[in-house]
């Protein structure tokens, strides 16, 4: 694990200990200092490798993207959508490692990045925002896909409920039309039949 990733994770662990009971606020600077101290102590004891390692180490990664125009154009769209202007070169390195994706996949990532940027504004106090590199490494855009699937399921469930309700109302209107012969119920039955037809048409 590289230092940056370690510090981020350690800060999340230490934050609860820094809460001021009087104000209810967290001391992020103190949590970072505690994480840094732990990193130094672990390094002194021989844990971990302090040398840069792993696939993420790509020198001047953003400049290298210029050699891949399609990847660079997609990355620039992502970077603007993510809207967290720190660690661009590291994010670009991760982008390079992902390889060339399809336009549909890039579009999916950009849409999810916009959602992430909007959600970041609602972060509770004391929560640390995820940087672009970590977001890409964790393939967080797939979370948005799962959310979309759940949304589609909810929409299907709602459609089924609407169809059930309209069918019940239609049966009642037809019954009343037969019993009373009133024009009102005939009109209601026609309206409900049309609603049902449209709902089925949208579903198909």
Q: What is the pLDDT of residues 185-196, one digit of tens each?
A: 899 999 999 988
- Among candidate residues 89, 110, 139, the one where a domain is terminated: 139
Residues 46 and 62 in one domain: no
Burial class (CB in 10 A: 0-12, 13-18, 19+), 129: middle
Does the reported pTM lie above 0.75? Answer: no
- In angstroms, the Cα distances linking 204 to 43, 148, 156, 199 are 62, 19, 12, 9
Neighbours of 126 (CB within 10 A): 17
Tens-digit pLDDT profile for residues 20-52: 888 878 788 888 888 888 888 787 776 654 444
DSSP-assigned letters across all residues of 169-200:
HHHHHHHHHHHH--HHHHHHHHHHHHHHHHHH
Residues 66 and 126 in one domain: yes
- Among candidate residues 38, 53, 68, the one where a domain is terminated: 53
Residue 145: the pLDDT is 55
Is 75 within a domain? yes
Q: Cβ distance 199 to 170 under 8 Å?
A: no
76: containing domain:
55-139
């Amino acid at each position: 694990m590289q230092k940056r990733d370690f510090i981020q994770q350690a800060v999340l662990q230490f934050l609860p200990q820094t809460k001021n009971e009087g104000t209810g606020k967290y001391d992020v600077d103190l949590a970072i200092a505690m994480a840094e101290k732990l990193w130094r102590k672990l390094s002194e004891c021989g844990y971990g490798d302090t040398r840069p390692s792993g696939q993420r180490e790509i020198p001047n990664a953003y400049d290298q993207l210029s050699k891949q125009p399609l990847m660079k154009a997609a990355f620039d769209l992502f970077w603007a959508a993510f809207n967290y202007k720190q660690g661009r070169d590291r994010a670009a390195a991760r982008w390079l490692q992902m390889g060339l994706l399809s336009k549909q996949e890039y579009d999916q990532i950009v849409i999810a990045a916009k959602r992430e940027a909007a959600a970041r504004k609602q972060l509770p106090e004391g929560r640390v925002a995820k940087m672009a590199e970590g977001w890409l490494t964790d393939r967080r855009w797939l979370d948005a896909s799962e959310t979309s699937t759940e949304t589609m399921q909810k929409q299907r469930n709602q459609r089924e409920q609407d169809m059930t309700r309209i069918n019940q109302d239609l049966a009642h209107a037809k019954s009343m039309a037969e019993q009373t012969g009133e024009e009102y119920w005939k009109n209601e039955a026609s309206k409900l039949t049309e609603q049902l037809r449209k709902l089925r048409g949208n579903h198909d």
